[in-house]
Amino acid sequence: MLEQNFLAFINDNQLFGTSDHLLLAVSGGIDSMVMADLFYRTNQPFSIAHVNFGLRGADSEADALFVQNKAEHYGVPFHLTHFDTTAIAAERGISIQMAARELRYTWFDQLLEDYKYACVATAHHLNDVLETLLLNLTRGTGLAGLHGIASKQNGIVRPLLFATRSQLAMYAEEQKLLYREDSSNSDDKYARNRIRHHIVPVLTELNSGLWQTLPRTIERLRAAEVLMQAELKRSWKETILQDGNQITLPADKLQALAELTFQLAEWLKPFGFADDQVKHMIESLNQSVGQVFESSTHRISHERIGLLLEPLPIPMDYEITLVDWPNGLVAVAGAFALAIDEIEKTGDFNLPTDSSIACLDADRLTFPLTIRPWRQGDRFRPLGLNGHKLVSDLLNDLKVSRTEREQTAVLLSGGQIAWVIGRRIDHRFRVKAETKRIGRFSLTSTMDFPPNRS
């Protein structure tokens, strides 16, 4: 019965193909042991991965050994790793749970890549879904917090999402499956237990069909969110005026928006702005201009035309040293990166017309190269100009915005400015007729507006 539902669920949701080789995340607890057994009995190719987080001493060791034995029993490949989770969490200043989660998924990603597994499978089930929903509801949430985890997302599948905890327990009993007591170190453990033992039983008493209706409810909420995100994205595109790294949200368009507070909050969340800041931004629209709101990465200023969104100025103290051609992307700081390549100059070479790309004479450049913000007093010899010019004068002439001015950087070779990045190259480093090799530097934004919305 559970086997049939398992296969039907995989098929209905197109989680993976019957010949795909999956990597199962197995803790040794009842849920993941049932999952592994279902894969085994349905002849789905799989390997097992177990993480020893080192959080429970000898018990952790015993869990690992238990899972390893089971993998040998099934005759499938077994991957084991060990982390000193407590130390890593302390070092990074994050919770043990968060550290465990990050370590686990980073390792899985590596295994997927190294062994070409189709995807990772975890043993989340319907009770997890309901408990998470209620936990999030209790704490305050949005739509995503209610529908919770998807059956397939980011290379992870959850093929038990159709089943309840008691169905899994029944299967384990029927198959006389052994398992280790789940001893989750979840920060939510207390809350989840309260929900599991005191709330869910009342809900199932009120509707004995709860476990049949829940997946449909969840599916409706998930679909609703996909549509809502599509509308958010469409509306963002129709609202904004973009000029490089500057986004203007015109006040008149904002005022005409349906659900302005919600939409603006959703749009600006990826840029680090909090709901309260958004509320104040909206209030500021009816006040005189000049108010500024900052997140850890971005700034919004209330200007005459509306709200201006920009990346925060890059910190003024960075200096990047290149000891050789990186032939790839070099992230500089905050908002920009350089793609740097050394290429042969061929007959059909044309100088770029885009000021965001600099082609320089590679043989004229001497390593180490330096990238740093421009400074007062910086001078260079602009291309085609017979003489020197202050960088500050160049920026004045180009009438760049305050933020752009603050963010302008220079590329130096042997102490000389070779490129005022994104603005003008230096005459001495230009590509000449006799140039053989070219250093090509392309300015790239690391900011995607809006940041990925799936």
Residues that bind a copy of itself (CB under 8 A): 133-135, 137-143, 146, 191, 194-195, 198-199, 202-203, 205-207, 209-210, 213-214, 216-217, 219-221, 223-228, 230-232, 234-235, 258-259, 261-263, 275
* Residue 429: CB atoms within 10 Å: 24
- Structural contact between residues 162 and 9, judged by C-beta atoms closer than 8 angstroms: yes
Q: How far is the CB of 145 from a copy of itself (least distance, A)?
A: 8
CA separation for the pair 379, 398 (Å, rounded): 16
Return the number of the residue (206 or 323) whose C-beta is nearest a copy of itself.
206
Residue 31 in marked binding region: yes
Return the number of the residue (142 or 290) whose C-beta is nearest a copy of itself.
142
Residue 284 in marked binding region: no
Return the number of the residue (259 or 397) whose C-beta is nearest a copy of itself.
259
Residue 30 in marked binding region: yes
Q: How far is the CB of 142 from a copy of itself (least distance, A)?
A: 5
| Cα–Cα separations (whole angstroms), residue 79 to 19, 159, 183 | 20, 20, 21
Q: How far is the CB of 194 from a copy of itself (least distance, A)?
A: 6
Q: 177: Cβ–Cβ under 8 A, 6 or more apart, which residues?
A: 30, 33, 34, 37, 171
Return the number of the residue (205 or 434) whose C-beta is nearest a copy of itself.
205
Return the number of the residue (214 or 394) whose C-beta is nearest a copy of itself.
214
Q: How far is the CB of 451 from a copy of itself (least distance, A)?
A: 19
Q: 148: Cβ–Cβ under 8 A, 6 or more apart, which residues?
A: 128, 129, 132, 133, 136, 218
Q: What are the CB-based long-range contacts (under 8 Å, 24+) for 188-196?
A: 188/135, 191/135, 191/138, 192/131, 192/135, 195/131, 195/134, 195/135, 196/127, 196/131
Q: How far is the CB of 212 from a copy of itself (least distance, A)?
A: 8
Q: How far is the CB of 216 from a copy of itself (least distance, A)?
A: 6
- Placement of tokens 């939510």 in the chain: 188
Q: How far is the CB of 13 from a copy of itself (least distance, A)?
A: 12
Return the number of the residue (42 or 235) whose C-beta is nearest a copy of itself.
235
CA angle 264, 265, 269 (to 5 degrees): 120
Q: What are the CB-based long-range contacts (under 8 Å, 24+) for 6-11?
A: 6/38, 6/42, 6/159, 6/160, 6/162, 6/163, 7/42, 8/162, 9/151, 9/159, 9/161, 9/162, 10/159
DSSP, collapsed to helix, strand or coil, labels residue 416 as strand
CA separation for the pair 68, 79 (Å, rounded): 8
Candidates 354, 327, 320, 329; CA nearest to 438 is 327
Could you tell me where the DSSP H helices lie in 315-454?
391-398, 402-407
Pair of tokens at residue 5: 């539902």
Candidates 296, 300, 310; CA nearest to 280 is 300
Q: Residue 39: which H helix or E strand, with range?
A: helix 30-41
Residue 384 in marked binding region: no
Return the number of the residue (136 or 392) whose C-beta is nearest a copy of itself.
136
Residue 28 in marked binding region: yes
Candidates 157, 142, 110, 127; CA nearest to 9 is 157
Q: How far is the CB of 305 from a copy of itself (least distance, A)?
A: 25
DSSP, collapsed to helix, strand or coil, labels residue 24 as strand
Residue 166 in marked binding region: no
Return the number of the residue (174 or 231) whose C-beta is nearest a copy of itself.
231
Q: How far is the CB of 269 from a copy of itself (least distance, A)?
A: 12
Return the number of the residue (224 or 385) whose C-beta is nearest a copy of itself.
224
Binding-site entries for ATP? 27-32
Q: Which residues are part of a known binding site?
A: 27-32
